[in-house]
Amino acid sequence: MHILILADLLGGFGVNLIAFLSQLVSFGIVFLLLWRWGLPAILSTMEKRQAVIREGVENAEKAKRDLEEATRRADELMLEARRQAQDTIAQAAKAAEGEANRIREDAHAQAEQISKQQVARIQQEAARAYADLNRLVVNLSINAASKVISKSVDSSDNRRLVEEFVSTSQTKEQ
């Protein structure tokens, strides 16, 4: 009886009670089938996708950390390379300065040696010129004395005496 009252009541709203009940039973069966087999399959697929997404996010975070680590390491390597390059440049500059000093010292030593050689050569030339001048003075003195005395004064004793006279007179002048 209650069903009839309910059917009259629903019939007034334009709802067929038999169709409604059959649809309600069909919905219940579909709901139970989906609940039993469909929902676990959907949940399993969602969990798999969630795991894939989580793994992708973890991989992205790991890649980001790896990139940051690689960037930091590259910066350290660049800094170390710059430091080594500066050390190498400093060592090369120091070596070049040392080499320049050595070359300068060698040049000064060679210049001093050449200067000493030139002085020695000049002294030799001066001594040779002095000896030539002494001979010339001795010869002139002997020639002048021979003309004054009108005889030949070319003996070796006379030559020695004149040379001694010229030498002593030149040392007195200096």
pLDDT digits (tens, 9 = 90+) for 38-55: 889 999 999 999 999 999
State the Cα–Cα distance between residues 106 and 101, nearest whole angstrom.
8
State the Cα–Cα distance between residues 95 and 89, nearest whole angstrom.
10
* Whole-model pTM over 0.75: no
Q: Is 134:164 a contact under the CB 8 Å cutoff?
A: no
How far apart, in Å, are the Cα atoms of 77 and each of 33, 62, 81, 84, 123?
A: 64, 22, 6, 10, 67
* pLDDT for res 55: 95
Residue 171's pLDDT band (cuts 50, 70, 90):
low
Q: Is 166:133 a contact under the CB 8 Å cutoff?
A: no
Q: Is 17:11 a contact under the CB 8 Å cutoff?
A: yes
Q: Is 119:111 a contact under the CB 8 Å cutoff?
A: no
Q: Is 154:142 a contact under the CB 8 Å cutoff?
A: yes
- pLDDT tens digits, one per residue of 116-162: 999 999 999 988 888 888 888 777 777 767 666 655 555 676 667 66
Contacts of residue 153, Cβ cutoff 8 Å, sequence gap at least 6: 142, 145, 146
